[in-house]
Structures are given as C-alpha cells and as structure tokens.
Chain A
Amino acid sequence: NAGVTQTPKFRVLKTGQSMTLLCAQDMNHEYMYWYRQDPGMGLRLIHYSVGEGTTAKGEVPDGYNVSRLKKQNFLLGLESAAPSQTSVYFCASSYPGRGVGNQPQHFGDGTRLSIL
C-alpha cells in the first residue's frame, strides 16, 4: 500500500521550460490537492479536485494548470517555469467524509523543484 506517490522527487528546470508533476494515490480518495511549501509561509493551496474530471483554483493558482482524468491521478503542470515557482510541491488526498473537511489529508513526500 503506497499511499500517495509523487513523481519526480527532484527536478531542476530552466526559466521558460515546462513540466508536469504527477501524483498518484491508491486509497480510492475522491479529493486531491496540490500545495506548495515555501520557507516561512507554510503550505499554500494551488489547485484541488473533488472528483474525477473536476478541478478548482486554490489560493495561488497563477502559472499552474491541473488535470484529473483518472480518479487516482492528479497532474500539476507548469507551462512556462519562472524562478518564483522554485518550491517544494506536495500532493494530498482525502475521503469526502461526513461534512466538509472532516477527514485527514494524506500527503506524498513532495517534489523539490528548482528553476534557474
């Protein structure tokens, strides 16, 4: 039982390049999330999905796109990478549960992305 798996673990990009981060969960969770973690700022929500085929914007969505074509996968794309997007990216998933947010989130171990 792998839980939440993020690919790749590390990546260095040049400004203007594009890439896709992959998140896969094997817990049959409905909800999936992408966060970025920067020093001194905690986690900030980029985009989230409440089910296959649906996505929504979070707190800091600019410069990112997402897709949820399969329930178990949530992809985060950077179309034209910028140095300000250097960060650690975390994916999380959760059950809907009873009521909004009444379930814990399960996190992957992150993707460390540097943009030069």
Chain B
Amino acid sequence: SQQGEEDPQALSIQEGENATMNCSYKTSINNLQWYRQNSGRGLVHLILIRSNEREKHSGRLRVTLDTSKKSSSLLITASRAADTASYFCATVLTSGTYKYIFGTGTRLKVLA
C-alpha cells in the first residue's frame, strides 16, 4: 500500500487564490519531499523538509510537517494558471533503504 496519501485528489481554484494540499503517511520518515508533474512530463522536485523541521518556504510555496500526526501540507499562494499540475509527496523512510515512497497525488487546476 502507498506510504503517502494526498488529499484532496483533485482541486480546482481561480487564479490568485491559495491552494492547499495535504499528505499523510504511515511510518517514521527521514524527510518528506514535494514534487510537481505537468501533464505528459516527469516529476520536478519542489521542496524538501526534514523530519526535525516544522515549516519551510520557497517562493510562493510553504510546506509544513507534523510528525506527531504523520502529515504534511503544501500551500501555494497567489496561484497562477501555470501552477496547473499534479502534486505528489514523497517520503524517505528511516530504514536506510534509499527508497522514496510516493503518494497518489493531488491534481490541481488553476482557472484563469
């Protein structure tokens, strides 16, 4: 079964609004990463948050991590049509196996 589960599965918002998507996971992690995938393309890394961090920012992106609840959220502020994509969280387990476990993704559509 998937380690990470994103919520919601799909999200449609107007340009300029904020978009929030959540990721829940099951076991202890080393870090959590967020990726974006445009239609027909590969995944692109957005941001990494370590297990001892609670919040991280990168441009219009804000990521939070709550290890007690085993959850993370990705906030995209002032969204643009170009943000339309699928967003995935990926967890790296503390077991030292070099494996990244990807969630099922949130499909974001930003309407112009």
Interface residues of A (CB under 8 A from B): 4, 31, 33, 35, 40-45, 48, 50, 58-59, 90, 92, 99-102, 104-110
Closest A residue to B4 using CB positions: A42
Among A33, A42, A90, A104, the residue within 8 A (CB) of B48 is A104
Among A31, A42, A44, the residue within 8 A (CB) of B88 is A42
List 23 A-B pairs, Cβ < 8 Å: A31-B98, A33-B100, A42-B2, A42-B4, A43-B43, A43-B88, A48-B98, A90-B42, A90-B43, A92-B42, A100-B94, A100-B98, A101-B30, A101-B31, A101-B93, A101-B100, A102-B31, A102-B48, A105-B33, A105-B35, A105-B90, A106-B45, A109-B42
Bound: A59/B99 CA distance, A: 9
| A48 engages B102 (CB within 8 Å) | no
| B42 engages A4 (CB within 8 Å) | yes
**Interface class of chain B by DSSP:** strand
| B104 engages A42 (CB within 8 Å) | yes
Given contacts A101-B31, A102-B30, contact A108 B104 (CB under 8 A): no
Bound: A33/B60 CA distance, A: 29
Flag whether B96 is at the interface (Cβ < 8 A).
Answer: yes
Interface residues of B (CB under 8 A from A): 2, 4, 30-31, 33, 35, 40-45, 48, 50, 88, 90, 92-94, 96-105
